Amino acid sequence: MVVATNNFPSSNGRTIPATIISPNTIIELEKGDPVVFEKYWKKRSEECSIVIRGWELMSYLGDAKNSVCWYMLPEVERGIRRLHHVVGNAVTNDRYIVVGTGATQLFQAAVFALSPSHPSQPINVLAAAPFYSEYQDEVSILRSGLYQWGGDAASYEKNEPYIEVITSPNNPDGIVREPVVKSEAKGKLVHDLAYYWPHYTPITHQADHDLMLFTFSKCTGHAGSRFGWALVKDIEVAKKMTRYVQMSSIGVSKESQTRVAKIIGVVCDGYENFGSMESELFFEYSKRLLRERWEKLWAVIDESKLFSVAKYPKAFCNFTNESSEPFPGFIWLKCEEGIEDCESYLLEKLKIRGRGGKRFGVDSNYARLSLMGTDDDFNEFLKRVSNA
Amino acid sequence: MVVATNNFPSSNGRTIPATIISPNTIIELEKGDPVVFEKYWKKRSEECSIVIRGWELMSYLGDAKNSVCWYMLPEVERGIRRLHHVVGNAVTNDRYIVVGTGATQLFQAAVFALSPSHPSQPINVLAAAPFYSEYQDEVSILRSGLYQWGGDAASYEKNEPYIEVITSPNNPDGIVREPVVKSEAKGKLVHDLAYYWPHYTPITHQADHDLMLFTFSKCTGHAGSRFGWALVKDIEVAKKMTRYVQMSSIGVSKESQTRVAKIIGVVCDGYENFGSMESELFFEYSKRLLRERWEKLWAVIDESKLFSVAKYPKAFCNFTNESSEPFPGFIWLKCEEGIEDCESYLLEKLKIRGRGGKRFGVDSNYARLSLMGTDDDFNEFLKRVSNA
């Protein structure tokens, strides 16, 4: 292994750009911090600026006329409906919108809202493995008497009511998913659609489920804003979710809400103004970024005997009007050649920090790595995998 | 009852200003929305403005060097320490700072962090009545197996470990408090000091407890920002609180944090710049606002046969260098003359919405009313009480 001070030719002749990262430095690809999109927003920096004056946004209230989500600013609600209309990824007609401090808070609000209020025993919350690594802890942390973590949805065999979370495209593996529980009991569904946006995956249909979760973090990459939203069919569920957010944090930062409204507005304006250059539109630009990374990765993985990544089928995207593979935000890496603990191997041999398969309910020969880090981290990652 | 289109002389000769509120309109004094401070921030509007550009604050991370509260911006930590130093209301040396989405989230983080991890039964969470009306629901909402609501701290007699919340000055009644539990068992304490600021109460000492909660909502009145902080002595407790906030919302809005840092900076600059006019300093200005309202209220209550409010003792404030009464953010109203349900009486007879005593663990002849609403609402409230 050498310090890359010049471009580094990989074995298949492609050139991996130089990085300034020392080979002894650990590359942090464990979390999914979406810093890759920062360069897009630097181009749009002034256009997306918000100014908040000293006396503005002081009240707990967002919209006294909203009988469900009273802390939501009206311009946020309008922005969310407009964005889904522009992208065509989800039905918003006849849906209530509940906003939260990230989809993380809303996931818990949803589980609370769908749980029976006075159960004889906690209802099981399920997700098909590999499932998002945080669901289990988020469900279990307070040892609720209302709900409990029930594990892998695919192996659930109890004839008892349940809540199934369908993450689609899935985190960690990017697969488009449907419910999998086979039970005679009645289940309630939460669709976590954090990655159902055109830069990550073809938009094949307008999602039309009872309870759908989205997050600003993955949509535009503004993870620091801690802002998510739910589209909810049943008003009582929406009200119960709002009640949870009220008890948990008395609403959602108005500063974040103002910024969300502004940035969503700029994204939508781009698509609705006839003269916009395609290369400057958010989802096209971001898809190109992710596609470039995936193409570099596939080239390296194709040559690797140690690592593999599943290939994704193409699908036609109604939004971009082209057929393409998905370009997930995470690499779901499988270690081959008898490497049993992929996370440890990556860390010890390659100084790459990922998150091992066991956190996702599967074997430790898998690990999840962020594809959305800095260029330097990503290129250094490619170099180390190439060299391994 | 008449519509006040002119100034309204009360029975003791003081003049209550006119309002444009119709006598049939319900006055909402149930929540403690601190809009009274808005006029101060209008004067400071530009000075306190923040500008956030499109690409800024995108990361989940706030300060990679902070081994406890990784999502907190460094300027927020500096601002909080500086503010307590300027005001002298709490010790920050050798304390860890954990920030949350309002003190509401941090209260729950504190209860989680102080609860045993694997209890044979949930630990009791106590507060002396009248206690803040939301504690009980916040503790009980998920039926945690770790902790449960144990009711009035003053009547706790079990010889079992407990968590006591000391709200000082107290919400709803403004009283300065100490722990009250008499038990041979070991208790852990949470000090909720949301109102321990010089506009509400004399600053008699630097608070120096193990776990202290503060909120931006009540300090400067920016309730919409959903921002609070904890000063924590034990690093393990601080880490466990951070873990809770991570599981609950993956941190705190960076936009809110930026604004908090800015506004705290402006407040502190005022006190540290020798030439500042006292009338323009935040706590002096705000104390004057609250004092004026309380003086109007006392004048009206003194004449009332239906309502009473406890008188508060004076104390010397180390911050303002004067002796004064407290000026709480809520009116803790007692209904006299056989009115048993104060909340219903206020609503039905005077069209004033308050929050009844039962929500605070005491009799229904008490009700809590916000003193921090708009001038119009407050003056109309005085008029209706005067006329009752």
Establish if B31 touches chain A: CB-CB under 8 angstroms.
Answer: yes
Percent of chain A with pLDDT over 90: 89
Radius of gyration of chain A (CA): 22
Please give the torsion angle defined by the CA atoms of residues B11, B12, B14 and B17, in that order, rounded to the nearest 10 degrees.
-20
For A150, half-sphere exposure in the C-beta direction (CA atoms, 13 angstrom radius) is 26
Contacts of B46 in chain A (CB under 8 A): 53-54
> Could you state, in order of their start, the residue ranges of all structural domains in chain B?
8-41+279-387, 74-271
Say how far apart CA A79 and CA A62 lie, in whole Å: 14
**Following DSSP, what letter does each residue of B235-263 receive, concatenated?**
HHHHHHHHHHHHHHHSS--HHHHHHHHHH
Residues ≥6 apart with Cβ < 8 Å to B320: B198, B202, B203, B283, B284, B287
* Contact predicate A242/A68, CB 8 Å: yes
Cα–Cα distances in angstroms (integers) from residue A35 to residues A169, A259, B60, B272, in the given order: 20, 17, 9, 38
Band the pLDDT of A276: cuts 50, 70, 90: confident
Tokens 């946004």, located at residue: A57
Quick one: tokens of A178?
């449907």
Say how far apart CA A168 and CA A173 lie, in whole Å: 10
State the smallest CA–CA distance between residue A251 and chain B in angstroms: 7
Using CB atoms, which residue from B253, B259, B263 is nearest to A225?
A: B253
Please give the torsion angle defined by the CA atoms of residues B27, B33, B35 and B41, in that order, rounded to the nearest 10 degrees.
180
β-bridge partners, B193: none
Quick one: tokens of B364?
């229904």
State the smallest CA–CA distance between residue A297 and chain B in angstroms: 24
Establish if B255 touches chain A: CB-CB under 8 angstroms.
Answer: yes
Chain centre distance of CA A67: 29
Contacts of A225 in chain B (CB under 8 A): 57, 253-255
Using CB atoms, which residue from A37, A42, A249 is nearest to B101?
A: A249
* Contact predicate B187/B166, CB 8 Å: no
Mutating which of B101, B148, B372 best tests the A interface, going by the most A Cβ atoms within 10 A?
B101
Contacts of A112 in chain B (CB under 8 A): 141-142
β-bridge partners, A352: A27
Using CB atoms, which residue from B104, B249, B259 is nearest to A226?
A: B249
Cα–Cα distances in angstroms (integers) from residue B356 to residues A195, B330, B341, B349, B365, in the given order: 46, 13, 8, 15, 8
How crowded is residue A348: how many other Cβ atoms within 10 Å of its Cβ? Answer: 10
Say how far apart CA A268 and CA A84 lie, in whole Å: 10
For residues A8-21, average pLDDT: 61
pLDDT tens, residue by residue, A327-350: 999 999 999 988 999 999 999 999
Which pLDDT score, from 0 to 100, does residue B14 have?
A: 55
B-facing residues of A in 66-85 (CB < 8 A) are: none
* Contact predicate B232/B210, CB 8 Å: yes
Q: Which H/E stretch holds residue B335?
A: strand B330-335
SS3 assignment, position A258: helix
B-facing residues of A in 127-156 (CB < 8 A) are: 134, 137-138, 141-146
Contacts of A266 in chain B (CB under 8 A): 54
State the smallest CA–CA distance between residue A110 and chain B in angstroms: 13
Which pLDDT score, from 0 to 100, does residue B51 have?
A: 98
ipTM above 0.90?
A: yes
Mutating which of B55, B246, B263 best tests the A interface, going by the most A Cβ atoms within 10 A?
B55
Tokens 């695919």, located at residue: A154
In this structure, what are the phi and psi dihedrals at residue B138, rounded to the nearest 5 degrees? -65, -35
Establish if A225 touches chain B: CB-CB under 8 angstroms.
Answer: yes
Say how far apart CA A267 and CA A281 lie, in whole Å: 7
pLDDT tens, residue by residue, A142-192: 999 999 999 999 999 999 999 999 999 999 999 999 999 998 898 999 999
Tell me the torsion sign for CA atoms B233, B239, B243, B245.
Answer: positive
State the smallest CA–CA distance between residue B365 and chain A in angstroms: 26
Which pLDDT score, from 0 to 100, does residue A14 have?
A: 55
Establish if B225 touches chain A: CB-CB under 8 angstroms.
Answer: yes
Say how far apart CA A196 and CA A170 lie, in whole Å: 9
**Following DSSP, what letter does each residue of A6-24 receive, concatenated?**
S-EE-TTS-EEPP----TT
Q: Which H/E stretch holds residue B164?
A: strand B162-167
pLDDT tens, residue by residue, B290-333: 999 999 999 999 999 999 999 999 999 999 999 999 999 999 99
Average pLDDT, chain A: 94
Name the H helices within A281-331: 282-302
* Contact predicate A244/A112, CB 8 Å: yes
Radius of gyration of chain B (CA): 21
pLDDT tens, residue by residue, A243-253: 999 999 999 99
Q: Which CATH number applies to B8-41+279-387?
A: 3.90.1150.10
SS3 assignment, position A50: strand
Which pLDDT score, from 0 to 100, does residue B9 have?
A: 45
Quick one: tokens of B371?
């003193």
β-bridge partners, A163: A125, A188
For residues B55-78, average pLDDT: 96
Residue B276 has pLDDT above 80, yes or no: no
Vertex A197, ends A115 and A242: CA angle to 5°? 30
- Cross-chain residue pair A258–B255, CB shorter than 8 Å: yes
Say how far apart CA B119 and CA B117 lie, in whole Å: 6
Tally C-beta pairs within 8 A across A and B.
Answer: 218
Band the pLDDT of A7: cuts 50, 70, 90: very low
SS3 assignment, position A125: strand
Cis peptide leading into residue B326 (ω within 30°): no
Which pLDDT score, from 0 to 100, does residue B3 have?
A: 35
Contacts of B253 in chain A (CB under 8 A): 101, 224-227, 252-253, 255-256
Single-letter amino acid, residue A349 = K
- Cross-chain residue pair A145–B146, CB shorter than 8 Å: no
Cα–Cα distances in angstroms (integers) from residue A58 to residues A54, B223, B317, B376, in the given order: 9, 5, 27, 18
SS3 assignment, position B377: helix
Q: Which CATH number applies to B74-271?
A: 3.40.640.10
Mutating which of B26, B29, B31, B58 best tests the A interface, going by the most A Cβ atoms within 10 A?
B58
Residues ≥6 apart with Cβ < 8 Å to A17: A7, A8, A375, A379
How crowded is residue A162: how many other Cβ atoms within 10 Å of its Cβ? Answer: 22
Closest chain B CA to residue A106: B249
Among B230, B256, B56, residue whose Cα is nearest residue A227: B256
Which pLDDT score, from 0 to 100, does residue A15 have?
A: 64
* Contact predicate B107/B138, CB 8 Å: yes
How crowded is residue A338: how many other Cβ atoms within 10 Å of its Cβ? Answer: 7
Contacts of B259 in chain A (CB under 8 A): 52, 255
Say how far apart CA B300 and CA A139 lie, in whole Å: 52
